[in-house]
Amino acid sequence: MSAKQDKRIRRHKKIRMGMHGTKDRPRLFVFRSNQHIYAQLIDDDKAKILAGVADKDVKAKKEDKKSDVAAMVGELIAKKALEAKITEVIFDRGGVVYHGRIKALADGARKGGLKF
């Protein structure tokens, strides 16, 4: 593993120690790879995924930027959460810096109606 990945994993472990998702307030986990972005609502009490969205589920055009697609993913996960009667979540950025696509996804989720 590279030093950059080691640092991200170390940050994520520290972040995860302080957060715990429940059925009423699940954890919104975001995973970002170089090409794709995924978001899941997780109930840590039962270790169950309540909803999940990937950028493949969004109807994006070829000319859309990755950050625009991430914002669409955020809006879609917010829509699914509201359908499941979830309004508040705990945001888990996965150890990645809150910038770029992660920030765009969070802003899209807020625009969609989630509070965190």
CA-CA distance, 88 to 104, in Å (whole number)?
Answer: 18
CB atoms within 10 A of CB 15: 14
- Percent share of the chain, pLDDT over 90: 78
Amino acid in position 95: G
Query: In which residue are the tokens 């499941």 written?
Result: 84
Q: What is the mean pLDDT of the chain?
A: 93
Kindly report whether the global pTM for this prediction surpasses the value 0.85: yes
Q: What is the mean pLDDT of residues 20-46?
A: 94
Contact by Cβ (8 Å): 73, 64 = no
Contact by Cβ (8 Å): 20, 27 = yes
CA-CA distance, 106 to 28, in Å (whole number)?
Answer: 10
DSSP class of residue 23 equals S
- The per-residue pLDDT for 17 is 87
Residue 1 has pLDDT above 80, yes or no: no
CA-CA distance, 31 to 79, in Å (whole number)?
Answer: 19
- The per-residue pLDDT for 15 is 85
| pLDDT tens digits along 13-28 | 988 888 899 889 999 9
